[in-house]
């Protein structure tokens, strides 16, 4: 189990090694919104004047998405359950619902001012359930869910998990290549065990996401290597139907993956004529190293930098080649039909990839010199439900029984949950920046 925290008017309570958000008599959901530091960091209110993700479908290939939660009503499409053990709207784990809330939650209450709001609140979520129960294990053939999502019109595929068996040439890799050939942007977390980038993030063309914290510092548990971009992934409030209050706070690249999927949805909504590669081009060329003046792109920790949605939407960036800046998968790897054959279809797990290859597949070849501008920001990821040994080949990780699982969650020391952002801008003023620019995402 990962790290979660509880927020109430009387303090914080630790339960069975985890800290959960508890409901409070007065505006607990308002406190959840106040604690959503990525929205403050990104100056989301300003971003939403340009794009809110309307018309874009994001597939959340995960443990299901609870469509009944108040923050997600009307956002979740029918979807499909590939486990054969329930409904795509059933989430006994809470992980998939959490990712969906970070992407397309709309909050609730007066003007949606309470609860979790996603960065792309008008995008639609396609739930693809490939994990059932409270465990972190996925079905062997979760790639069938990826193919299904693409055939249903999803143009963004969110994979907030690691799978050591998704090596090049595997069924999962072929499914991802199929998605890319059909024009979808595939986003995946690098992993949470401080090793090298895990599969499927290490596959060609996949946007590999590491995490940053509220100070825009690289999260030390993020896996490194061929990283594309970074995003907020530490202490991120999100919806969770398994919590008594409906909310949890978590660390990990799962959350940062969801935030990048949301940024891609914003871009796809504003620039519907751009190819997936050209969308990724905007993503990497608008990223920034913020305080890291000594870093050069691509960096093993932050890739091309911390993603900046406002800048990505408005910066003058040439379209560039249709293929975009990332290495492409071989066309021969995705010749199978894109139609999934059934909910309970699964095959035996493919062979495990070696440690030495876990971070070498994804090659970032584009020219994307990150511009250090005052409007910068955010990133980090999370994966809050990890059993030990569910993380792939990096240090501290192993091979799950079904070949896939949420990246291992490092132990986290207890901290008081903040009711408000650290300062009015969400982040401290970057060194050398004028003090009036407290929000590095403000433009």
Catalytic residue positions? 62, 95, 254
Task: Assign 3-class secondary structure to the chain.
Answer: CCCCCCCCCCCCCEECCEECCCCCCCCHHHHHHHCCHHHHHCCHHHHCCCCCCCCCEEEEEECCCCCCCCCCCCCECCCEECCCCCCCCCCCCCHHHHHHHHHHCEEECHHHCEEEECCCCCCEEEEEECCCCCCCCCCCCCHHHHHHHHHCCCCEEEECCECCCCCCCCHHHHHHHHHHHCCCEEEEECCCCCCECCCCCCCCCCEEEEEECCCCCECCCCCECCCCEEEECCCEEEECCCCCCCEEEECEHHHHHHHHHHHHHHHHHHCCCCCHHHHHHHHHHCCECCCCCCCCCCECCCECCECCHHHHHHCCCCCCCCCCCECCCCHHHHCCCCCCCCCCCCCCCCCCCCHHHCCCCCCECCCCCCCCCCCCCCECCECCCCCCCCCCCCCCCCCCCCCCECCCCCCCCCCCCCCCCCCCCCCCCCCCCCCCCCCCCCC
């Amino acid at each position: 189990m990962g790290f979660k925290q509880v927020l109430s008017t009387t303090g914080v309570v630790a339960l069975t090694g985890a800290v959960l958000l508890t409901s409070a008599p007065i505006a607990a959901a308002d406190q959840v919104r106040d604690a959503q530091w990525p929205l403050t960091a990104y100056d989301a209110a300003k971003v939403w004047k340009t794009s809110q993700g309307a018309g874009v479908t994001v597939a959340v290939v995960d443990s299901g998405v609870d469509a009944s939660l108040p923050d997600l009503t009307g956002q979740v499409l029918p979807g499909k359950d590939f486990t054969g053990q329930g409904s795509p709207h059933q989430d006994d784990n809470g992980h998939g619902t959490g990712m969906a809330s970070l992407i397309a939650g709309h909050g609730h209450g007066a003007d949606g001012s309470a609860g979790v709001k996603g960065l792309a609140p008008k995008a639609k979520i396609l739930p693809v359930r490939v994990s059932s129960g409270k465990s972190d294990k996925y079905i062997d053939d979760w790639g069938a869910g990826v193919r299904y999502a693409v055939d249903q019109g999803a143009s963004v595929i969110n994979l907030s998990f690691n799978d050591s068996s998704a090596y090049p040439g595997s069924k999962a890799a072929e499914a991802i290549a199929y998605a890319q050939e059909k024009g979808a942007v595939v986003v995946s977390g690098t992993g949470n065990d401080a090793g090298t980038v895990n599969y499927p993030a290490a596959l060609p063309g996949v946007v590999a996401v590491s995490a940053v914290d509220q100070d825009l510092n690289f999260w030390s548990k993020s896996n490194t290597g061929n990283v594309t971009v970074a995003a907020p992934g530490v202490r991120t409030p999100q919806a969770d139907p398994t919590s008594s209050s409906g909310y949890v706070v978590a660390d990990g690249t799962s959350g940062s993956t969801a935030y990048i999927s949301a940024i891609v949805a914003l871009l796809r909504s504003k620039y519907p004529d751009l190819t997936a590669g050209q969308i990724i081009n905007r993503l990497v060329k608008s990223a920034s190293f913020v305080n890291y003046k000594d870093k050069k792109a691509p960096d093993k920790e932050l890739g091309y930098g911390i993603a900046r949605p406002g800048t990505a939407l408005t910066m003058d960036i040439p379209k560039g080649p249709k293929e975009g800046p990332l290495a492409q998968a071989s066309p021969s790897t995705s010749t199978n039909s894109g139609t999934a054959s059934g909910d309970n279809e699964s095959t035996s797990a493919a062979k495990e990839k070696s440690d030495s290859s876990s971070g070498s597949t994804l090659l970032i070849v584009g020219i994307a010199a990150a511009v250090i501008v005052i409007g910068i920001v955010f990133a980090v990821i999370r994966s809050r439900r990890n059993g030990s040994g569910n993380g792939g080949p990096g240090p501290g990780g192993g091979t799950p029984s079904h070949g896939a699982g949420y990246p291992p969650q490092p132990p986290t020391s207890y901290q008081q949950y903040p009711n408000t952002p650290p300062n009015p801008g969400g982040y401290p003023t970057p060194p050398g920046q004028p003090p009036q620019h407290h929000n590095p995402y403000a433009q």
